[in-house]
A = this chain, B = another copy of it.
């Protein structure tokens, strides 16, 4: 079991969906990824919160063994996002994005974390993701996520970042936006040409693909009885994926394939609750059970 450095946003999310309105739920890419990864390995979270971030939240994260040495507390308010999902949960609109203390975030990697073998650059500005890599010594594997906003306004930095990343995790729509291609085989080839040796294209309710040159692997999304809120599903996938690699301390292709299934399992739990409410309840027995159910979904 190797430690994972997770750098990303820590936030409150106000969510509106068919279930109702849920003000100031715990959110942020680093939080979802850390919660998921902490089931499988040791996690070091780097991020920033305001002085309004509740002790109950940091206590919950600490109880999961997440090292919060790198969680900066700045005077002011925590990053707050508010959004509304369509009733079928397939799309959402942002209502408010209050960066607050996150606007000035400059990730500072504690000296004790500089040799973290596994690094998760959760979704934040690519310039900040690069600055994290500048503070890390010879990681074994760097995984990065990104979003449409950075493809729009920070593409040069994103392209610089991708040359230093081992695994890019990106959703299909953003992958098409980044590459200007529609057809999946062309999309993955164009993504691999940007630098990563492994690309994971997430397709939401249609599952996820892992690509390496000459390799394609698919895991479906789990057909769930209850889907309440997709917020954080992608970050939970990334956390589960990297958590599994760190637990195995291996990045060979067979392990990467299993990691996609484990990531899919964590994402499937995430969407069963509002915010991280379901994800935080899940134990390793649940994960193992769902991974076995995933295996059964594709056993031909």
Contacts and interface: CB of A to CB of B under 8 A. Distances in A.
A203 B209 CA distance: 16
A185 B227 CA distance: 10
A35 to B, nearest CB: 23
Contacts of A206: 203, 206-207
Nearest to A189: B225
B219 A300 contact: yes
B218 A298 contact: yes
Interface in A192-207: 203, 205-207
Contact of A185 (B203, B223, B261, B298): B223
B223 A209 contact: yes
Contacts of A295: 300
A190 B225 CA distance: 13
Given A206-B206, A209-B223, A297 B182 contact: no
A236 B210 CA distance: 27
Interface string A223-250: 1110100000000000000000000000
Interface in A254-300: 257-258, 260-261, 294-295, 297-300
A184 interface: yes
A182 B216 contact: no
Interface string A144-187: 00000000000000000000000000000000000000111100
Contacts of A299: 217, 257
A88 interface: yes
A219 B185 contact: no
20 contacts: A88-B182, A88-B183, A184-B223, A185-B223, A185-B224, A188-B223, A203-B206, A206-B206, A207-B220, A209-B220, A209-B223, A216-B297, A217-B297, A217-B298, A219-B300, A220-B220, A257-B299, A258-B300, A294-B300, A298-B298
Given A206-B207, A298-B298, A298-B300, 11 more contacts: A88-B183, A184-B223, A185-B223, A185-B224, A188-B223, A209-B220, A209-B223, A217-B300, A218-B220, A218-B297, A257-B299
Interface of A: 88, 182-185, 188, 203, 205-207, 209, 216-220, 223-225, 227, 257-258, 260-261, 294-295, 297-300
